[in-house]
């Protein structure tokens, strides 16, 4: 079978071919991630000022906010991939959803715990029903639901398809959930002076934040490419096992 005749995207459903492609991309994204992380941590922990209201605890923002942003971007990417998988029926698209999900869940969890650690000194409680945190918690359960569903089927393809439909329903519902939680929060809690998104962004604070967001993003790209190759291999392994069993 010559590779020249296979449409471009379908070629990369082959784990070996995908591995070669990602092998060329990975060093760049991994390197970028390491550099951005190092720079980001330097500026976040050393070379940026404390906040006049929140003191040094504002440094938690430099992990909480990037984690929050990633948790939402990853879900959006999952939804886009799910739609692509349903429309074009391409294996890479469905597997991307599965590859990205645990990473998105981890970012969401990180956002929740960092938010909790930030909230305790600021608001005096380990958990506050802040609109952002509550929405993140619901998003965390959307991730968990996907992860549970996709592995609950004996036929992996069925699981992938069910998961894709779930993610699409979830992404439509997500803005509604956020809107309703936001509205619920203003109904039940007085406006607070300190918001979770941090004080007015001073340039000296914007820099570490941007660096950390870049670090998180490139890290995600690196790991998701690895996970995607891993999922392709798992599929190939199942195929080999079935073939061996048939004989």
Partner 1 sequence: MNEYQTFFAMGGYGAYVWPAYGLTALAFIGMLGWTWASLRARRREEQGLSAAGRARRGRREAKS
Partner 2 sequence: MSAAFALFLHDLKLQFRHGSDLVAPLAFFVLAVLMVPLGVGPEPNLLARLAPGMLWITALLATLLALDRLFQRDFEDGTLDLLALAPMPLELIVLAKVAAHWVTTGLPFMAIAPILGVMLHLDSASFVTLEISLLIGTPVLSMIGAFGAAVTLGARRGGALLALLVLPLYVPILIFATSAIGAAGEGLSSRPHLLLLASFFAGGIVLVPFAAAAALRNALE
Site track 38-77 with partner 1 (rule: CB under 8 A), x = hit? ---x---xx---x----xxx-xx--xx--x----------
For the chain, state the CA radius of gyration: 21
Q: Is residue 173 a contact point for partner 2 (CB under 8 A)? A: yes
Q: Is residue 177 a contact point for partner 2 (CB under 8 A)? A: yes
Q: Is 32 exposed, middle or buried (0-12, 13-18, 19+ CB in 10 A)?
A: middle
Task: Please choose which of partner 2, partner 1, none residue 166 contacts, taking the beta carbon within 5 to 8 angstroms, the exact cut-off set by kind.
Answer: partner 2
d(CA 225, CA 91): 14
Q: Is residue 102 a contact point for partner 1 (CB under 8 A)? A: yes
- Of 6-14, 115-123, 181-189, 200-208, the segment contacting partner 1 by CB under 8 A is 115-123
Task: Please choose which of partner 1, partner 2, none residue 117 contacts, taking the beta carbon within 5 to 8 angstroms, the exact cut-off set by kind.
Answer: partner 1
24: tokens are 């060329």
Closest approach of partner 2 to the CB of residue 134, in Å: 9
Using CB under 8 A, pick the residue from 61, 68, 82, 166 that binds partner 2: 166
Q: How far from 241 is each of 13, 128, 153, 161, 247, CA to CA, in Å?
A: 18, 50, 18, 22, 10
Q: Is residue 34 a contact point for partner 1 (CB under 8 A)? A: no
Which lies closer to partner 1 via its Cβ, residue 107 or residue 181? Answer: 107
Residues in 105-144 that interact with partner 2 by CB under 8 A: 138, 141-142, 144
Name the residue among 196, 166, 193, 194 with its Cα closest to residue 181: 196
Q: DSSP 3-state assignment of 212?
A: helix
- Cα torsion angle, 90, 93, 99, 102, sign: negative
d(CA 17, CA 173): 36
Name the residue among 98, 100, 178 with its Cα closest to residue 138: 178
> What is the number of alpha carbons within 13 Å of residue 246 lying toward its C-beta?
6
Residues in 162-221 that interact with partner 1 by CB under 8 A: 219
d(CA 140, CA 111): 10
Q: Is residue 234 a contact point for partner 2 (CB under 8 A)? A: no
Q: Is residue 154 a contact point for partner 2 (CB under 8 A)? A: yes
Phi, psi of 51 (to 5 degrees): -80, 145
Binding site for partner 2 (CB under 8 A): 86, 138, 141-142, 144-145, 148-149, 152-154, 158-159, 161-162, 165-166, 168-170, 172-173, 176-177, 179-181, 183-184, 187
Binding site for partner 1 (CB under 8 A): 15, 19, 41, 45-46, 50, 55-57, 59-60, 63-64, 67, 102-103, 106-107, 109-110, 113-114, 117-118, 120-121, 219, 222-223, 226-227, 229-230, 233-234, 236-237, 240-241, 243-244, 247
């Amino acid at each position: 079978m010559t590779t020249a005749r296979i449409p471009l995207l379908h070629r990369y459903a082959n784990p070996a071919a995908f591995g070669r492609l990602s092998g060329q991309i990975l060093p760049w994204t991994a390197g970028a991630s390491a550099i951005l992380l190092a720079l980001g941590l330097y500026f976040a922990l050393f070379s940026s000022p404390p906040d006049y209201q929140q003191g040094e605890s504002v440094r938690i923002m430099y992990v909480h906010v990037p984690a929050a942003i990633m948790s939402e971007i990853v879900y959006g990417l999952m939804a886009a991939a799910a739609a692509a998988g349903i429309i074009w029926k391409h294996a890479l698209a469905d597997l991307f959803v599965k590859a990205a999900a645990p990473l998105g869940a981890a970012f969401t969890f990180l956002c929740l715990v960092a938010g909790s650690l930030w909230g305790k000194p600021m608001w005096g409680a380990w958990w506050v029903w802040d609109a952002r945190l509550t929405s993140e918690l619901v998003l965390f359960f959307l991730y968990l639901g996907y992860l549970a569903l996709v592995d609950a089927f004996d036929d992996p393809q069925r699981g992938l398809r069910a998961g894709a439909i779930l993610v699409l329903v979830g992404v439509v519902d997500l803005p509604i959930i956020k809107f309703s939680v936001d509205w619920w929060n203003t109904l039940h809690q007085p406006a607070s002076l300190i918001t979770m998104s941090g004080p007015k962004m001073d340039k000296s604070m914007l820099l570490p934040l941007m660096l950390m967001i870049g670090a998180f993003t490139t890290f995600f790209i690196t790991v998701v490419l690895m996970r995607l190759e891993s999922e392709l291999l798992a599929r190939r392994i199942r195929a080999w096992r079935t073939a061996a069993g048939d004989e």
